[in-house]
Structure 1
Amino acid sequence: MAVQRRYKSLAAAGIATAMTLTLASCSGGPVGKDDVTLKLVAADYGDGAANSSKHYWHDVVEAFEAKHPHIKVDVDVYSWKDVDKEVEKRVKAGNAPDLAQIGAYADYAAEGKLYSADDLLSISTQADFTPGLAEAGEYHRVQYGMPFGASTRRLFYNKKLFAQAGIDSPPKTWSDIKQDAQLLKAAGVKIPFALPLGPEETQAETMIWMLSGGGGYTDSIGKYTIDSRQNIRTFKWVKDNLVAPGLTGTDPAKLNRQDGFNAFASGQAGMLNGHPTLMHQAKAKGIDYGTVALPGTTGPAKSTMGVADWMMGFKQHGHRAEMGQFLDFVYNEDNVLRFSGDYGLLPVTVSASQKMLADDKYKKLHSFLKQLPEAEFYPADKTSWPLVSKTIKAKMGGAVGKNGDPASVLTDIQNTADEADSATR
């Protein structure tokens, strides 16, 4: 269907071009183009001024404008803490940006505010997206979210601490995790297994454990399955085998993801689930680490968690053609590869992924990238997801605590999810 719509739009464009040329010949000269300025709000993937995303966008825009002098692009870069709120504020004020590169698209798609991907992109650009990422960007089977940055999750372990504890191989199963954590604790490691279920990114750690236990947030048709038998079993195991014996080193409900990363990078944590950004942080601190596929109940988990951030185009100002030209440029192979390499992320296109896999410079990213085609993503196509995610952040840390009851907490979250899902259909 997407291809058919694209051919129709190309045909219409051809008719419009013919009419323009006819008018131009009648008036004795070509019709000039009006200058257009596109507004883009983007997230900052850097951790300081030196590697801010502002530098990346400056170079991309400069190269694009040199080839398209009638199109200017103004980019405002905000921290991840502020960028979604900034776009929401502009949309509510009736002055949406032309383009936004943020964390979620479904609400805006549901409100009819976005162009679909095939309204904006050339066929070759849209077809180059990694299929699983393109599908994750669909709302009601139409792609509105264009993937921009992606990552998958693996288990990180500190090789030095493992050796000191007498552990000669990384864990492959939950039983291995428990045994290794016990040995690390006995060797004096402060945080044998870092379990970040604090308010920063609880929904991610929760999903990682759900997948490793054979569950997940939704089933194959998109229905929430938060209180499934598999998920209840998973978090009962986590509570009884990691938290209760003190193998997490600290209260999971109070540990944020970045605090867990900091503990690993400072040599205080033996293991944790992480994404590629942690590689840079650990390397900068001189940590000798390894990564393995997420351990599961009887062997490596069948799937891992994938995360994608999204580019979207708002209809309000009607700059569809100019937005499309800019996005086709943004998503060319070199730009996608440079962005991914600069920020330790995974390419969102097939062409850039193949180029990264062929280059040993990115060798440490290869294991993360090979997982991407089969990764599972947040149910970001559901407009109920923001509320469900907020509820998970508020409750899951306590579910595995001293007085926690995973079954009742998961059931409470399931009820919230079902109510929200019904209200937004």
Structure 2
Amino acid sequence: MQRRRFLGMAAAGLAGATGVTASACGGGTGPGGDDVTLKVVAADYGDPGGGNGSQAYWDELARGFRKKNPGVAVDVTVLSWNDVDEKVAAMVADGEPPDIAQIGSYADYAAQGRLYDVAQLLPIPVQADYLPALADAGEVNRAQYGLPFVSSTRLLFYNKALFADAGIDPDAPPRSWAELRSAARKLEAGGVPIPYGLPLGPEEAPAETMMWLLGGGGSYTDNGDSYVLDSPENIATFEWLRDELVGAGLTGAKAPAETNRQDVFDAFGRGEVGMLNGHPTLMQQADRQGVEYGTAVLPGRNGPAGSTMGVADWAMAFKANGNGDAAGKFLAYAFDVDHHYDFVGRYDLLPVTTSASARMRADDAHQNMRRFLDQLPTAEFYPVGKVSWGKVSAEIKRTIGRAVEKGVDPGNILRTLQQTAETEESAGAAR
């Protein structure tokens, strides 16, 4: 989602969640015949203060798996999205990778030969249940290494009460950038602290950036999958943001470069934000805090954006410990339709399997998810299959917020990012 959250915020591992035998691809024991202890690192999808952390789900999953498979210990640690990718990278660098990681990217590990191919892990019926576009996004050199874990698409959220107070029709959200700017001006004149929330801080700057690039007719890559970060369309998008939103004082007092996604989500829940781009989990937070909100297709330069951003978070299995059989069995259990649907339903996320997607579309309890589901077929995803993406994404997080500062030429920022991307691509190809 995202795609997203660890150090110091790490939840305890699965206390007592030991003993589980695996047989997905063969036996349930390690190479020496002893019981296996699977080390699993997973990301937390709960929101701060929401009391809905992901540890409870993994506790339940491990207990159920243990009952069915009494020979493999499962030790799960749930960590914050802010640092989980970095923590797993440190574990790998130290020669102690987990057996399974559920994080934001997989391609670099796959290119290094560290991961099991999905075909080595899962039975064919489980593989076939993944939505094709997401399964394809998990490939490196035509082999699938990344297992999509959850997905989401993005919509424009807006506060209906603030719209009404500002004289804006709450049933007619902006469809173009000009309409968004006009609505933001009215919200600002009405005293709304943050007319439009623009989180270009390090938490999820690549997501907010991509949504705006798509609305401006650009993206991170072209149809040939080559980076085009400094395209004329992308430069024009950031010039518009710099001049028409940030420079006009329509994004609040805090600099976008210092604003994280959770900052604006929390402010939206307090009734301080008129509009922001959001994923389905924001609905839970807004509902809990009594915010009357609407959702709409992302505005684009001249009308509704032609596509929105899709995000998938990934699961993968490392080969270092030789526990592929046990890891495959546990992953297959996690993607059983009941278990997968339980998880996505808790956090208002989109399923990654055909079976769970069909269940959600038919479930009236999740009718508010249908608009997000409708966006999935045309959504564009991060270029996660590129080995370079992890480092490019990190550099976007570090620098893109400066592109909207007064007096800064966004083209210089984007050209530097393009150079970084090309350098990383060349380095990846040489490995």
Correspondence for 1:319:
323
Could you tell me which of 179, 185, 188 is aligned with 1:185? 188
Shift of 1:49: 8.9
Summarize the alignment of residues 260-409 of structure 1 with structure 2, pairs less than 5 Å apart. Answer: 260-409=264-413
Counterparts of 1:329 and 1:199, CA distance in 2: 34
Aligned residue in 2 for 1:22: none
Identity %: 55
- Number of residue equivalences: 397
Q: Is the 8 A contact 2:177 2:301 kept in 1?
A: yes
Q: Distance in 2 between matches of 1:51 and 1:400?
A: 35
Structure-to-structure mapping, 1:8-27, within 5 angstroms? none
Equivalence for 1:68:
69
When the two chains are superposed, the root-mean-square deviation of aligned CA atoms in Å is: 1.9
Query: Counterparts in 2 of 1:53-92, with a 5 A limit?
Result: 53-92=54-93
CA–CA distance in structure 2, aligned partners of residues 255 and 326 of structure 1? 38
- Where does structure 1 differ by over 6 angstroms across 4 or more consecutive aligned residues? none
Match of 1:416 in 2: 420
Q: Flag the 1:120–1:254 CA change in 2: closer, same or farther, 3 A.
A: same
1:218 and 2:221 are equivalent in the alignment: yes
Secondary structure of the structure 2 residue equivalent to 1:170: coil
Unaligned runs of 5+ in 1: 1-12, 18-32
Aligned residue identity for 1:335:
H
**Residue identity matched to 2:176:** T
Mean Cα displacement is larger for which, 232-241 or 39-48?
Answer: 39-48
User: Could you give the per-residue CA deviations for residues 384-421 of structure 1, whole angstroms, max 9, x where no partner exists?
Assistant: 22221222222221211111212222112111211121
Q: Distance in 2 between matches of 1:270 and 1:322?
A: 48
**Retained in 1: the 8 A contact 2:108–2:390?**
no
Q: Secondary structure at the match of 2:209?
A: helix
Does 2:208 align with 1:205? yes
Tell me the residue number matched to 1:42. 42
Secondary structure at 1:260 match in 2: helix
Check if 1:239 corresponds to 2:237: no
Normalization by structure 2: what TM-score?
A: 0.88
Cα 1:220–1:95, aligned 2, differ >3 Å: closer, same or farther?
same
AA at the equivalent of 2:399? K
Provide the C-alpha distance between the structure 1 equivalents of 2:137 and 2:225, rounded to a whole number of angstroms. Answer: 12
The alpha carbon displacement at 1:221 in A equals 2.0
Determine the structure 1 residue equivalent to 2:113.
112
Task: Say if 1:172 and 1:294, in contact at 8 Å, map to a contact too.
Answer: yes
Distance across 1 between alignment mates of 2:329 and 2:398: 42
1:17-48 per-residue CA deviation (whole Å, 9 max, x = no partner) reads 9xxxxxxxxxxxxxxx7533322121122246
Q: Distance in 2 between matches of 1:101 and 1:422?
A: 27
Amino acid at match of 2:215: S
Q: 1:204 to 1:97 in 2, by over 3 A?
A: same
**Gap change, CA 1:367 and 1:188, over 3 Å in 2:** same
2:35 maps to amino acid: D
TM-score for the superposition, normalised by structure 1: 0.89
* Kept after mapping to 1: 8 A contact 2:82/2:203: no
Distance in structure 1 (CA, Å) of the matches to 2:404 and 2:92: 39
Counterparts of 1:413 and 1:85 in 2: how far apart (Å)? 21
Residue in 1 aligned with 2:15? none
The 3 A distance-change label for structure 1 pair 49 and 188 is closer
Q: Distance in 1 between matches of 2:77 and 2:267?
A: 32
Please state whether the residue corresponding to 1:74 is helix, strand or coil: strand
Residue 84 of structure 1: how far off its partner (Å)? 2.3
Instruction: Give the helix-richer structure, 1 or 2.
Output: 1
